[in-house]
Amino acid sequence: MILLTVGTQIPFDRLVRAVDAWCAESGRSDVVGQIGNVGDNCYRPKNFEWNAFVPPSVLADHLRLADFIIAHAGMGSIISALRYSKPIVIMPRRASLGEHRNDHQLATAARFEKRPGIYLAHDASELPKMIDRAMTQTTSAVNAISAFAEPSLIRSLRDYIFNGVTTVDPSDLEDGDESASLV
């Protein structure tokens, strides 16, 4: 099964339409989608099962059962995929197309693009290729993340809260990004 989720705040017709077209072209009928608010002018898929909203317990079941996930570049979707050790294809919303208030999803996508198991489709034309790549990925190759923060982050936050200062070991920072320091 393939899970499509676009979050719960606003629709993402460009992604939903592209997945629907991929289902029609590939003959896949095992896609389940949570496509958000479907107002009068929103796209309604014809080639896969969908709901506007899925209760959290059902969404958790879908995440567990999915072979991989297709989603907007929302942090909740990315974190959920990583938590369940699932490959994810992300396509960021674009403010210039009226899909969001700003382009923060472009920055999120750029940050996660090189992480194993995350496949970035910049637009609908790239989506089929990224889906094909995700289909070949095994879940064991995706590095799962913990439901809990890293101990070094917890220590650093605790030091900051109780002592007003903290130190961050540069070796704990990803890609040497020293701007992540709280000092």
Quick one: three-class SS letters along 150-169? CHHHHHHHHHHHHHCCCCCC
In this structure, the answer to whether residues 55 and 95 fall within a common structural domain is: yes
C-alpha dihedral sign at 62, 143, 79, 108:
negative
Q: Mean pLDDT over residues 35-50, rounded?
A: 91
Mean pLDDT computed over every residue of the chain:
86
Q: What's the pLDDT score for residue 73?
A: 94
In this structure, the answer to whether residues 18 and 96 fall within a common structural domain is: yes
Residue 43 lies in a domain: yes
In this structure, the answer to whether residues 111 and 35 fall within a common structural domain is: yes
In this structure, the answer to whether residues 127 and 162 fall within a common structural domain is: no
Closest CA to 32 of 70, 61, 4: 4
* Residue, of 11 and 168, whose pLDDT is higher: 11
Domain assignment of residue 96, given as a range: 2-141
**Within 13 A of 26's CA, how many CA atoms are on the CB side?**
17
Are the CB atoms for 99 and 106 separated by under 8 Å? no
> Domain count of the chain?
2
* Residue, of 159 and 172, whose pLDDT is higher: 159
In this structure, the answer to whether residues 73 and 51 fall within a common structural domain is: yes
Cα 18-64-68 angle, rounded to 5 deg: 30
Q: Mean pLDDT over residues 157-174, rounded?
A: 72
In this structure, the answer to whether residues 127 and 176 fall within a common structural domain is: no
Residue 88 lies in a domain: yes
Residue 135 lies in a domain: yes
β-bridge partners, 89:
70, 119
What is the pTM for the complete model shown?
0.79
In this structure, the answer to whether residues 125 and 38 fall within a common structural domain is: yes
In this structure, the answer to whether residues 113 and 34 fall within a common structural domain is: yes
Q: What's the pLDDT score for residue 172?
A: 57
Residue 146 lies in a domain: no
Kindly report the CATH number assigned to the domain that includes residue 85.
3.40.50.2000
Q: How far apart are CA 149 and CA 147, in angstroms?
A: 7
In this structure, the answer to whether residues 156 and 97 fall within a common structural domain is: no
pLDDT digit string, tens, across residues 114-155:
899 999 999 999 999 999 999 887 655 566 676 777 788 788
Q: How far apart are CA 40 and CA 43, in angstroms?
A: 9
In this structure, the answer to whether residues 89 and 122 fall within a common structural domain is: yes
In this structure, the answer to whether residues 83 and 125 fall within a common structural domain is: yes
Residue 37 lies in a domain: yes
In this structure, the answer to whether residues 121 and 160 fall within a common structural domain is: no
